[in-house]
Structure formats: C-alpha cells, structure tokens
Amino acid sequence: MKWARIAFEGKVHAAEALNGKLKLADGRLIDGEEAVWLPPIQPRTVFALGLNYSDHASELSFQAPEEPLVFLKGPNTFIGHKGAVPRPHDVTYMHYECELAAVIGRQARNIKKEEASHYIQGYTIANDYAFRDYLENYYRPNLRVKNRDASTPIGPWLVDAADIPDPMNLQMKTYVNGKLTQEGSTKDMIFSIPYLIEYLSSFMTLNPGDVILTGTPKGTVNTAVGDEVVCEIEGIGQLKNTIIAKERKENSNAALYPGIHG
Amino acid sequence: MTLISARLNGMEQMVEGTADLDHGKVSIDGIEYKVEELAFTSPVRGTIYGTLLNYQGALKELGEQVNHPPYKEAPKAPILYIKPYNTISSHKRPIFLPDGIEELEMGAALGIVFGKEAVNVSEAEALEYVEGYTVVNDVSIPHESVYRPPVKYKCRDGYCPAGPWTVDKDGINPDSLSIQVYIDGKLVQQNHTSNLIRSIPRLIADVTEFMTLYPGDMLLAGIPEGAPKAKNGDSVRINIESIGSLENTIMREYKGGDDR
C-alpha cells in the first residue's frame, strides 16, 4: 500500500492511495489536487549518503569511498510533494539528487545485513538538492550545502516494504521541465540499504521513523528558477517540485569568517 | 538566584524553579532540594546542532593545516553538525566507551536553547530568539580529520549529555562566561566564551541565514581547544559560570553477563 500525509480542509490527515484518489482515515475519497502534500513521514534522524553511486562519484571526480560517507539532515530542510525549493540569488550551481529513501520501522542496534529488511517500514523518494557554491572542506558536504531550509522534497508516498520486493533493483529517472536528465538504477549503489543498516546500527541505535537517503546516480545538472523537477523511482512514484527565487533579506553579515582576533 | 527549567524524576513536563549555584541547591514550589537529591532528564527535545572550530584556540590548534589539503583554506561559514536523537542524555547518566576505544574526548559546550522560530535574524536581534542556556558535553571518539562529517565519532547513543537544567536567558551575557572541566575533581580545562570566533549573536545570525532554528532546538557554541580525554571510570564535571554543572561518568559499554 501507498501512504501519504496531507493537509486538507485545515487538518492534517494520513491518506492511502486508492484508485487514483486519496482515501482519508475517515473514509472520504478526495482528489490529489485538493490536498497539500506533506512529507509522508515526520523524520527524526535522517541520514544521507554522499558518493554512493560510483558513476556519480566519478562525475564529481572523486574516488568511490571505502566506507559509507554519511551525513545528517535536520527537519528544517524537508518539504512535501509539489513544494517550492528556494534558490539563493548568489548561487551559480544548484543540482537535484534523486534518491531512494528507506524508512526504519523497528528499533535497530547491531543488526546484520541479512536481517536488515525486517527493520524497514517502507520506501519513499527524496530530492536531496545540493548548492555547490557553499562547499568547503570541513565536514564536507556541510550543512550549508545540504541542510538549507525547504531544500529536500520528500514523498509523495511511503510505500510499504512488502510492496517493493527488490529495492536494490529499481529504475530511477529525473526530468527537468519534462526532459529526461538523469537515469540510473538502485542496483548501482556502492553500499546497499541492508549494508547501510548494518553499518549505522553497528555504532548507534536506529529508531522507528529514522530515514536513510541512499545517494544519487550520475546525471545531476544545474537548475534554474522556474524549473519543474520530477524525480521518479520505479514502483514508488513521482516526486515533483518547482524552484523559486529566495527572497533577499537584510542579513549582511552572513558567510564571512571573522578569523582570529588579537 | 538563578531561574531554571528542568525535567525531573522522569516526568516529561518542564518545571520551573530557582537554583543556588554556589551551594548546589534547587528550589521548586517553595521546597528546597539539594541538587543530588533530584533525578534530571535532558532539558532538550529539539534538534541539536554543534559548531566546529568556533574557539580561536581551536582554529589555531589546526594551524597551518587549514591551508593544505584536504582543507586548502580556512573555513568561511560556520561549520555545523547534528547530534541526533539517540545521543540525547542527561546529568549523571553514564557515557559509554565502545569496544576497542580507551578514551573519549569531552566537549565542553554552552548550549543555546531557542524559544522562538529563528530564521534570517540579525546579530542585533539574535538573543531575543533565545530561551535559555544549558551545559553540554559534546562527546566524541577522538579523531584527527575534520574533512568528512563526524557521524561515527559523535553520534553514538548518549553522546550528548545536557543539563542539569536550562537557565533563563535574562541577565546572562553568553559571550562572557567561564568554563571549567574537572576529571575526578581535578581541573583539566579552562576557557571562556569571550574567546569565541563568532560571538553567540553572530553565530545565530550566520546559521539562520540558511536554516531555521525552531523552538526547543539547541545550538552549541563550540568546543574549546585542548578538549580533555576521559577513560573508563572517570567522573567528568563541566561547569559553566552562571549556568550550572553537568556531571557524567565514563563506563565500558555493557555487554551482558558479569564481564564488565
């Protein structure tokens, strides 16, 4: 089954996909167009992977990592399907990253990869935008590149794990304004989802609602204000967003390191 | 008297009271307690963001390395990291040493707790968004490189003790607080928040330029240079002037059986 979280008539609802409509918990059927789509889960700890597809690593002229390159994301960065992602006025390169997201369903500590599938509740799609101008070589990729407000659309659906028999063999596509710009398959991940669950749970506890964004294949290109970006993963759905201009605000002191005084 | 908010005796709701920091006493609803009579849980429930290299001495410690690979140049924007949900811990709770690790780095940090949603705030107005301050031990497994995100070193279960309480922001100048760390009663580190590269208001302005801090979120001001290391059995106390003292003991990770 496919699940969404939506706002409708001033209330937040859990909704299930049914015959092209959304079925609310109270039984009403509504049209997707009537809903405001929210992230299908309210994530607590969110892990993301850098350079987890060897073709994308080589595209960015990096060696494929020997150990998962993991970073974390905060709740400020997530928005729902059909949301708007702000592009700061000063960036020269902002690229989408279509990613399969695995949602943890049971607490996991020291779990072996053979057992990992029992700990997954389901899957969704994330678009983990990066703003390359802000890359610096400290805790790279840093939060200024990867945790900006409203810069990670996620959804539309949380699809039950039982409905995705082989998450490690799904076609992925991204379209910008209807044109196919990225194509890949989850089979090309360097570190598979079961491996990532084993790796992370070997040193920390994973909790229900935690999410792992598993990285993106090659084919990331710059995007512009007004672009409509659609990330598609086989069996999971299509996640759409548009890019808007970030409003300029009077906050002149941003971005310059004051350095050492005295 | 210091105005505090705390979670006590396993209850989720915060209670307000006063603390007498010099004499280790807390007063709630007119009843006075010794601090050690009370069981605290972490006063923080929101997202916790740490700040790397925000003490002048911490950046100096890295020295010329900042001009060489992999760093290539000194940092420009604040370098942040997340201490996730599983790291939340509190006063008097043990900090566990994993197998094969002999020492942990004790990161004495001022925790800035937010009371209002803060986005794109100016330096001049930044402190209006703060609810209060707490003491944090931002625990790490010692590691040399800060090139890649530190999840494996900083995000283990219970690696972010905070508390015992939060102190109301009124009357506190966060840029003028002394910090001491004691291990088994011996002073092992001393510093002062006046040595920050980015003052607290400046840090809040620069961080909220690109991300929102929500009520209940906590930003750590940074860890001073020369972070002390603690080993199995050590009792660690971090004291921040006008805020309080956070105490934790280092223990071997429990593996079951009697072989501890």
Domains and CATH numbers, chain B: 42-252 (3.90.850.10)
Same domain as A44, residue A26: no
Give residue-wise pLDDT tens across range B194-212: 999 999 999 999 999 999 9
- Of B138, B134, B163, give the one whose Cα is nearest residue B246: B163
- Residue A211 near residue A219 (C-beta atoms within 8 A): no
A254 within a domain of the structure (yes/no): no
Same domain as A187, residue A203: yes
Give the chain B residue nearest A74 (alpha carbons).
Answer: B47
A252 within a domain of the structure (yes/no): no
CB contact under 8 A, A254 and B210: yes
Separation between Cα atoms, residue A32 and residue A20, nearest integer Å: 8
- Report the complex ipTM: 0.95
A94 within a domain of the structure (yes/no): yes
CATH number at residue A237: 3.90.850.10
CB contact under 8 A, B76 and A257: yes
Strand stretches in chain B, DSSP E: 2-8, 15-20, 25-28, 31-34, 40-41, 48-52, 79-83, 88-90, 95-97, 103-105, 108-114, 130-137, 160-168, 178-183, 186-192, 218-220, 229-231, 235-240, 244-252
Q: pLDDT tens digits for chain A (262 residues)?
A: 999 999 999 999 999 999 999 999 999 999 999 999 999 999 899 999 999 998 877 777 777 778 999 999 999 999 999 999 999 999 999 999 999 999 999 999 999 999 999 999 999 999 999 999 999 999 999 999 999 999 999 999 999 999 999 999 999 999 999 999 999 999 999 999 999 999 999 999 999 999 999 999 999 999 999 999 999 999 999 999 999 998 766 554 444 454 443 3
CA A166 to chain centre: 19
Q: C-alpha distances in angstroms, A11 versus A7, A8, A24, A37, A84?
A: 5, 5, 11, 12, 21
Chain B partners of A150 at a C-beta cutoff of 8 Å? none
Q: Give the CA count within 13 Å in the CB-facing half-sphere of A81.
A: 25
CATH number at residue A14: 2.30.30.370
Same domain as A137, residue A65: yes
Confidence of residue B41 (pLDDT cuts 50, 70, 90): very high
Chain A partners of B74 at a C-beta cutoff of 8 Å? 257, 259
A7 within a domain of the structure (yes/no): yes
Same domain as A8, residue A87: no
Give residue-wise pLDDT tens across range B166-183: 999 999 999 999 999 999
Parent domain of A174: 39-245
Q: Is B254 on the interface with A (CB under 8 A)?
A: no
Q: C-alpha distances in angstroms, A226 versus A151, A245, B30, B44?
A: 15, 8, 60, 39
Task: Record the tokens describing residue A96, joined without a space.
Answer: 């989408």
- Residue A168 near residue A222 (C-beta atoms within 8 A): no
* DSSP-derived secondary structure letter, A75: G
Separation between Cα atoms, residue A97 and residue A215, nearest integer Å: 8
Same domain as A56, residue A34: no
φ, ψ of residue A224 to 5 degrees: the values are: -125, 160
Same domain as A200, residue A144: yes
Same domain as A53, residue A115: yes
Chain B partners of A149 at a C-beta cutoff of 8 Å? 119, 210-212
Chain B partners of A258 at a C-beta cutoff of 8 Å? 197-198, 202
Query: How many independent structural domains does chain A possess?
Result: 2
Chain A partners of B155 at a C-beta cutoff of 8 Å? 72, 203-204
- Of A136, A69, A44, A138, give the one whose Cα is nearest residue B152: A69
Mutation pick from A139, A146, A200 vs chain B, by most beta carbons of B within 10 Å, is A139
Separation between Cα atoms, residue B54 and residue B77, nearest integer Å: 11
Same domain as A167, residue A106: yes
Cross-strand pairs, B6: B15
Strand order in the sheet with A237-245: A83-87, A237-245, A228-233, A171-176, A179-185
Same domain as A122, residue A6: no
B:176-205 residues touching chain A, CB 8 A cutoff: 197-198, 202, 205
Of A140, A204, A253, the CB nearest to B205: A253
Chain A partners of B212 at a C-beta cutoff of 8 Å? 76, 149
Closest chain B C-alpha to A176 CA, distance in angstroms: 25
Same domain as A45, residue A10: no
